[in-house]
Amino acid sequence: MPNAWKLLIIDDCATDRKIYRRFLLKDPHHYYQIMEADSAEVGLGLCQNIPCDLILLDFCLPDMSGIEFLDQLRQKTFGSSVPVIMLTGRGDQEIAVQAMKRGVQDYLVKQHLKPDVLQLAVRNVIKQLCLQTQLQKTQERQRLIATMLLRIRQSLDLEEILYTAVREVQQLLKCDRIIVCQSSPEADSEQTGQNNSLLCYWAGSDDCNLNPLELLDSQENLIVPITLSDQQIVSKPWGFLIAHHCTEKREWQSDELEIMCEVSVQLAIAIQQAELLTQTQVALEKEKQLNAFKSQIITTISHEYRTPLASILAAASTLKQHGDHLEELKKHKFLHIIEQKARHMSKLIDDMLVMNQFELNKTKFKTIPLDLEQFFSSLISEQQQLVSDRHEFIFHSTGSNKGFCGDQGLLRLIFSNLMSNAIKYSPKGGNVEFHLIGKESEVIFFIQDQGIGIPIEEQSNLFQPFCRASNVDTLPGTGLGLAITKACVELHGGNISLDSQPNQGTKVTVCLPKQHIQKSSH
């Protein structure tokens, strides 16, 4: 049986009321629950206490005219618009027009009233009422959706956007939970084939016993994909918007699906905007770093070049003016100064260019299989010939380095920077040990000296470009070596650490995976 409509018949004539009741109960299309009142007063009282869907109103009541009744009805029910069908006598069309102007839906002439006429009139008014209610509901929903979308779009912070969205949609649909699931980007890019790692944002009941992996399979859920599209209009799946209801059975309505689709489209736009903002911020930050680096380069060059250039100029002009009269030994000394200072300046330029390549992510990285033991022992022999005999080199190799692949140029940079530090910062000489340890999937090497060491509190900063410790005194350097070394190590997928005690020496340890697949970042 369809829901009964509540009707109120207000007529002082009992016979008429009976007739209307009989006509209406015969309606094959609708079922009515009928109340009766024999005066306007009683009718108004009923309206106030029991809400009804329609009033059949006799225009001529003993205690009040139909027009007066309508005015009082609006007053007493605080303007609520219960539809009214007026019943008039023959020739009362003038009055009926007035009543229609006051909001009466229809009027019928009592004398001609037939069952089907009354039934049709009542059905039409009720149909109109249903459409109006639906229209109001749709307008209200549209208003809520617009407010919700505005709130979603007000933020550029992705987490905030997603939490706002789930909260607002959950309130709108009044379901147990709304969930936004982001399919894990890693699962996608690494092509692991498992697309089951989901990042979820949700709002609603804590009681739902939901397993994230079952979210997408459950029949109870209303699921809408969230798809991003870039400027080339290529679609990229991002995740899902899911409505879940388990406290009772729920048939999802088509307008609810429409809301979910609309929200999903708006979410995709908001997500893209937030992602764009993050990318811009990262680029801006990078740009700032580059600018800082460039100005540091200018400062360093002007500072570091002044002294050696002055020495070169002085030596060169002495040679030019007095070269003919100088002893061979002195001439040689000046030429040595020029050569040494020029070499120093050239290294500085090389280091800065290398560092700049790293900052711009443009360093070339090409790995080949390498026998590390052989590689390092030949580098150590090269070093040995360059330094004075105050330093003693010790080389230890244990384990197997089989299967190691690395970039020769970058490994040479790592070695030469660490080795030159070990020598430079142990001016009194001593042992410089190089240990190479081969493990199953990685190699570890460390260089240990017995030099000046590094103050503990300054150790963590020294991998930053241009950072030097306070105890270097007059030992030359620009503070680029460790930054370059760290960047080279990281390109190999490894890590570097430092262990040092002032005046007791320094140990720098490098761990590198034997094989490293570089992620392309540029």
Residues that bind ligand ATP (CB under 6 A): 351, 417, 421-422, 425, 449, 451-454, 462, 468-469, 472, 477-483, 506
Nearer to ligand ATP, 303 or 322 (CB): 303
Q: Within positions 407 to 436, which residues make up the interface with Mg ion, using CB under 5 A?
A: 421
Nearer to Mg ion, 119 or 421 (CB): 421
Give the one entry of ligand ATP, Mg ion, none that residue 359 binds, where binding means its C-beta sits below a cut-off of 5 to 8 angstroms depending on kind: none
Taking the complex as a whole, the smallest distance from the CB of residue 501 to ligand ATP amounts, in Å, to 10
Nearer to ligand ATP, 120 or 472 (CB): 472
DSSP state of 230: -
Q: Are 466 and 517 in contact (CB under 8 A)?
A: no
At 351, list the tokens.
């280091």
Distance CA 275, CA 67 (A): 64
Taking the complex as a whole, the smallest distance from the CB of residue 425 to ligand ATP amounts, in Å, to 3
Q: Within positions 155 to 214, which residues make up the interface with Mg ion, using CB under 5 A?
A: none
For residue 508, which amino acid is it? Answer: V
Taking the complex as a whole, the smallest distance from the CB of residue 436 to ligand ATP amounts, in Å, to 18
Helix axes 115-153, 158-173, angle to 10 degrees: 160
Taking the complex as a whole, the smallest distance from the CB of residue 329 to ligand ATP amounts, in Å, to 30
- SS3 readout for 395-438: EEEEECCCCCEECHHHHHHHHHHHHHHHHHCCCCCEEEEEEEEE
Taking the complex as a whole, the smallest distance from the CB of residue 383 to Mg ion amounts, in Å, to 14
Nearer to ligand ATP, 361 or 464 (CB): 464
Strand partners, 7: 34, 54
Nearer to Mg ion, 204 or 481 (CB): 481
Taking the complex as a whole, the smallest distance from the CB of residue 483 to ligand ATP amounts, in Å, to 6
Distance CA 52, CA 126 (A): 12
Taking the complex as a whole, the smallest distance from the CB of residue 442 to ligand ATP amounts, in Å, to 23
Nearer to ligand ATP, 311 or 471 (CB): 471
First to last CA, the chain: 69
Give the one entry of Mg ion, ligand ATP, none that residue 383 binds, where binding means its C-beta sits below a cut-off of 5 to 8 angstroms depending on kind: none
Distance CA 521, CA 48 (A): 73
Taking the complex as a whole, the smallest distance from the CB of residue 302 to ligand ATP amounts, in Å, to 16
Taking the complex as a whole, the smallest distance from the CB of residue 418 to Mg ion amounts, in Å, to 8
Nearer to ligand ATP, 122 or 297 (CB): 297
Q: Are 359 and 289 in contact (CB under 8 A)?
A: yes
Closest CA to 508 of 474, 476, 481: 481
Give the one entry of Mg ion, ligand ATP, none that residue 451 binds, where binding means its C-beta sits below a cut-off of 5 to 8 angstroms depending on kind: ligand ATP
User: Binders of Mg ion: how many residues, by CB under 5 A?
Assistant: 2
Helix segments in 87-225, DSSP class H = 93-101, 115-153, 158-173, 185-189
In angstroms, the Cα distances linking 499 to 99, 226, 421, 454, 470 are 97, 50, 14, 9, 17
Gyration radius (Cα) of the chain, Å: 44
Nearer to ligand ATP, 167 or 341 (CB): 341
Distance CA 410, CA 514 (A): 15
Distance CA 334, CA 328 (A): 10
Is residue 481 within the footprint of Mg ion (CB under 5 A)?
yes
Nearer to Mg ion, 44 or 447 (CB): 447
Give the one entry of ligand ATP, Mg ion, none that residue 449 binds, where binding means its C-beta sits below a cut-off of 5 to 8 angstroms depending on kind: ligand ATP
Is residue 465 within the footprint of Mg ion (CB under 5 A)?
no
Taking the complex as a whole, the smallest distance from the CB of residue 462 to ligand ATP amounts, in Å, to 4
Of 360-368, 387-395, 408-416, 480-488, which part binds Mg ion (CB under 5 A)? Answer: 480-488
Is residue 266 within the footprint of Mg ion (CB under 5 A)?
no
In angstroms, the Cα distances linking 368 to 84, 124, 150, 374, 406 are 91, 86, 55, 14, 6
Nearer to ligand ATP, 453 or 494 (CB): 453
Nearer to ligand ATP, 103 or 455 (CB): 455
Helix axes 254-322, 328-359, angle to 10 degrees: 170
Taking the complex as a whole, the smallest distance from the CB of residue 212 to ligand ATP amounts, in Å, to 47
Give the one entry of ligand ATP, Mg ion, none that residue 165 binds, where binding means its C-beta sits below a cut-off of 5 to 8 angstroms depending on kind: none
Distance CA 500, CA 418 (A): 14
Residue nearest to Mg ion (CB): 481
Chain contacts with Mg ion (rule: CB under 5 A):
421, 481
